[in-house]
Amino acid sequence: MTDSSTNPAAFSAIPVQRPREQVESQLRRAILDGSIVEGERLPSEHALAQSFNVSRATIREALRSLVEAGLLAKGPGTTSGLYVESVDHNALSRVVSERLTNILDLGSVTAEEVATFRDLLEVPSARLAATHRDQRHLEQLREIIDEERGTTFDDPIVPVLNARFHSEVANASGNRVLAAFVSALHRTAHPLAFVNTDEELGRVAVTHHIDLYRAIESADPDEAVTVMRSHLDYLRSHAAASGASAAR
């Protein structure tokens, strides 16, 4: 006689979520599917606790996890509440930048390590930009260069413009993950912030940016790579020379 009972091995246990996990997963799903839209303010902890029928401590744990994931952010002021962040590559960039800044502050990694990793991404970024850029990217790059040409080398905005230029090159690459990391790394460790800027540096750096723009405009990936490498090598050697001068 054949045993018609079901094989127990065909089933698997479904883990029961803790209250905090239930709250977190439902809020996460609501944010990702657009039920709660970007910029919307969440209800208070008290209101959420009543809605989910859990304690405020449980709500607080769930919200803390979503803040750490970059889905929620605190508004200005101490009592403004939490707001939904954008869920795209720009959000990824912000999270990476914030985490790296904290790690740098703790001393777990050095600014040199961050800078080296950033440089590793810059060359392929330039190559891809020459292949995938569109008119909008070219206009943005021209606008930044025009601002750089009208700025003196000692203006505090110089590192900001440099970061914007490199971030826009990464945007032109067509790879949003690459763009997110390049932007985050520039915000975390501005290359020019660790270099003694002088008139020569300002002039040469802008010249390199113009040459890189022309290579990208001409859709010449090999030339874009050559210019970017020259630019990074120059900044590195200038920084080394500045350090040696300061040590003497």
pLDDT (tens digit, 9 = 90+) per residue, 122-161? Answer: 999 999 999 999 999 999 999 999 999 988 877 878 888 8
Closest CA to 186 of 210, 170, 203: 170
Closest CA to 145 of 185, 205, 186: 205
- Mean residue pLDDT of the chain comes to 84
- The answer, yes or no, to whether residue 59 has pLDDT greater than 80, is yes
Q: Where are the alpha helices (DSSP H) in 53-110?
A: 56-68, 89-106
Rg value, the chain, Cα? 24
Predicted confidence at residue 27, as pLDDT, reads 92
Q: Are 122 and 166 in contact (CB under 8 A)?
A: yes
Of 47-56, 103-112, 181-190, give the range with the top mean pLDDT.
Answer: 47-56
- The answer, yes or no, to whether residue 4 has pLDDT greater than 60, is no
- What does the block give as tokens for 37? 């839209």
Name the pLDDT band for 227 (thresholds 50, 70, 90).
very high
C-alpha neighbours within 13 Å on the C-beta side of residue 35: 7
**Other beta carbons less than 10 A from residue 192's beta carbon:** 20
**Span 12-26, mean pLDDT?**
80
Name the pLDDT band for 242 (thresholds 50, 70, 90).
low
75-98 pLDDT, tens digit each: 876 567 898 887 667 777 877 887
Q: Write the CA distances from 171 to 89, 116, 181, 209, integer angstroms.
A: 10, 20, 11, 15
